[in-house]
Amino acid sequence: MPAILSAERKDVAVLSVPRRWSDLDPAWMSAALSRRYPGIVIQDLEVGAMEEGTNATARVALSLAEGDGPPSVFVKGPGRPLHRMALLALGALSTEARLADAGASFPLEHPAFLAGGVDWRRAACVVVTQDVVAAGGAPCDARTPLSVDAVRNGLQGLAALHASYWERPMPAALGYLGYWRLGPILRAISVASLSRGLRLATEHLEGEWCLPRDVGAGRLSRQFRRSAAITASWPRTVLHGDPHLGNAYIAADGRTGFFDWQLTRLGHWSHDVGYFLVSALGVEDRRRHERELLAAYLDALGRAGVRPPSGASAWERYRGTPAFGLATWLHTLSFGSLQRTDVCMAIIRRFAAAYEDLETGGADVAVP
């Protein structure tokens, strides 16, 4: 549940947003896919089991009457009203829908964007993408860490994304992307939310110690704000924005990919790198391999033509990143319905251990 941004622009696609999943019929799907697959006519479709998270999502099997197209797609539709209001407040309502409407493509493994639309009156969006499972991909389970090789591959992909936009003017199609900014709404509720998150985490730990001893809600809230300010600093590039393990998958060819691009923003490379690396590796693997993985990411930037930061400065910035991840997942746990509790606790454990190991309180995210 990352940072609040200023209001989004509303010049987005006119694709209608279904009010109910039953409105997602062959005529709607034919219209949605027609820009990517001219002449397509859907004869019938079947909506699979729906999952409720931040959004409502489902795989949809398609039967074609005319034209060419995929046998199935993945649809992200309006979730619960409270979740939709949260997305609006987070500045995350239209971003992925605009990427999907534009058919955006990034230089790393991700589901192909097929269609998107936003209904501002209802604070509702719809996104249609490639079904990566039908293509042989396997979504990651956030409770089960990835292998070191899978994380290394994911970092290579993030390096390719970052290098493509590193300190360069944004193309017109991405001109609406903004920086990370914590707005007054989250600043006002942050301490209370983190207090509740810390209390809930302690209860779920059932006597097991894992939270940093010197971190209270007030201190972590200040570090959270400081992290967001650093994320908005230069060098600027395009960030996935939310590349935690639960938003990753392993493609059929073994590459690590990323879905859920609704928090895509401009900002500092370290946000994506720290957020993915710490959330995706088991604690012992992270301790043994984080330096080499960070070096491999920097090397990939260099091979892509970017002059990367020095290893020492990159390490110092990486040391600060667990504060944002820990606060984010405590906020998510506090909210109560964005992610399952066992998922929250698995990732909180990893960020808490990294916060302690890396002495994040003494890194450049530290605040009085």
Domains observed in the chain: 21-130 (3.30.200), 138-362 (3.90.1200.10)
Q: What is the pLDDT of residue 363?
A: 72
| Closest to 33 in 3D by CA, of 125, 93, 112, 95 | 112
Cβ atoms of 200 and 333 within 8 Å: the answer is yes
Q: What is the pLDDT of residue 188?
A: 67
Q: What is the pLDDT of residue 368?
A: 34
What value does the CA radius of gyration of the chain take, rounded to a whole number of Å? Answer: 20
Cβ atoms of 258 and 137 within 8 Å: the answer is no
Query: Distance (Å, rounded) from C-alpha 164 to C-alpha 161?
Result: 5
Q: What is the pLDDT of residue 79?
A: 64
> Tokens standing for 222?
């200040």
> Which residues, in sequence order, are CB contacts of 307 under 8 Å at separation 6+?
none
Cβ atoms of 14 and 31 within 8 Å: the answer is no
SS3 of the chain: the string is: CCCCCCCCCCCCCCCCCCCCHHHCCHHHHHHHHCCCCCCCEEEEEEECCCEECCCEEEEEEEEEEECCCCCEEEEEECCCHHHHHHHHHCCCCCHHHHHHHHCCCCCCCCCCEEEEEEECCCCEEEEEEECCCCCCCEECCCCCCECHHHHHHHHHHHHHHHHHHCCCCCCHHHCCCCECCCCHHHHHHHHHHHHHHHHHHHHHHCCCCCCCCCCCHHHHHHHHHHHHHHHCCCCCEEECCCCCHHHEEECCCCCEEECCCCCCEEECHHHHHHHHHHHHECHHHHHHHHHHHHHHHHHHHHHCCCCCCCHHHHHHHHHHCHHHHHHHHHHHHHHCCCCCHHHHHHHHHHHHHHHHHCCHHHCCCCCC
pLDDT in tens, the chain (368 residues): 222 222 344 444 568 888 888 889 999 999 999 999 999 999 999 999 888 766 789 999 999 999 999 999 999 987 666 555 666 656 667 899 999 999 999 999 999 999 999 888 877 889 999 999 999 999 999 999 999 999 999 999 999 999 999 999 999 889 889 887 766 666 668 889 999 999 999 898 876 767 787 788 888 998 988 888 888 888 999 999 999 999 999 999 999 999 999 999 999 999 999 999 999 999 999 999 999 999 999 999 999 999 999 999 999 999 999 999 999 999 999 987 678 899 999 999 999 999 999 999 877 665 43
- Cis bond upstream, residue 235 (ω within 30): yes
Q: What is the pLDDT of residue 198?
A: 92
Q: What is the pLDDT of residue 91?
A: 64
Cβ atoms of 337 and 344 within 8 Å: the answer is no
Q: What is the pLDDT of residue 209?
A: 67
> Tokens standing for 55?
């959004």
For residue 87, the tally of other CB atoms under 10 A from its CB is 24
Q: What is the pLDDT of residue 346?
A: 95
210: amino acid identity, one letter? C
For tokens 């939709």, name the residue. Answer: 84
Query: Distance (Å, rounded) from C-alpha 187 to C-alpha 8?
Result: 19
> Mind listing the pLDDT tens digit for each residue in 50-97?
887 667 899 999 999 999 999 999 999 876 665 556 666 566 678 999
